[in-house]
Amino acid sequence: MNYDFDALFALAKDCGFDETGMLDPSTLEFMPEVRDMCRSDKCHNYNRSWSCPPACGSLEDNAKRCKEYSTGFIVQVVARLEDEFDIETMMDAPKRFGACFLELSDKLKEMGLDILPMGAGGCTRCKKCTYPDEPCRFPDKLYSSMEASGLLVSKVCTDNNMPYYYGPNTIAYTGCILLK
């Protein structure tokens, strides 16, 4: 299928993303070391969410799923900090990313596109995940993070000619959307 990436990038910008770029799914490398970072549970979501390991599937499952997609694009929220102690902006940036990502994913699905969204951090659709006691409330809208899938975000960006670092006093949150 041919996609109008100019239109898709414009839609991403309308949803609030600051930067967009192309993604070649063949560049995606699923790394056990990244999954090991999840297992260390620094974000406090390991084994607590349908969108995080181990519930989000093995590296092999994620790699197989991604091979079904022919193209994609990267989206980023890039926050500019007033200074290195600008905690308010640091805390707001992931919330902004999550809201933008949900809006973009929903709009792409409403357009009838077959997408595989991978965000920055776990799914934020529900205030509290039902894992492991009940099934996911929105399995058709559930998404995992790039990291939970086993992807090193900086490498994905580098391999796809997309900046990962925007200079001093910036913080970037990166996700991607794969398209069939």
Give pLDDT tens digits for 12-48.
Answer: 999 999 999 999 999 999 999 999 888 888 888 899 9
Angle at 66 between CA 65 and CA 71, to 5 degrees: 140
Is beta strand 115-119 parallel, antiparallel or unpaired with respect to 71-80? unpaired
**pLDDT for 42:** 80
pLDDT of residue 1: 78
The per-residue pLDDT for range 111-157, each reduced to its tens digit, is: 999 999 999 988 888 989 999 999 999 999 999 999 999 999 999 99
pLDDT (average), residues 50-55:
93
Question: CB under 8 Å to 161, separation ≥6 — which residues?
Answer: 21, 22
Burial of 77 (0-12, 13-18, 19+ CB in 10 A): buried
* Angle CA 53–94–172, to nearest 5: 100
- 160-169, pLDDT tens digit by residue? 999 999 999 9
- Mean pLDDT calculated for residue range 52-79: 95
What does the mean pLDDT of the chain come to? 94
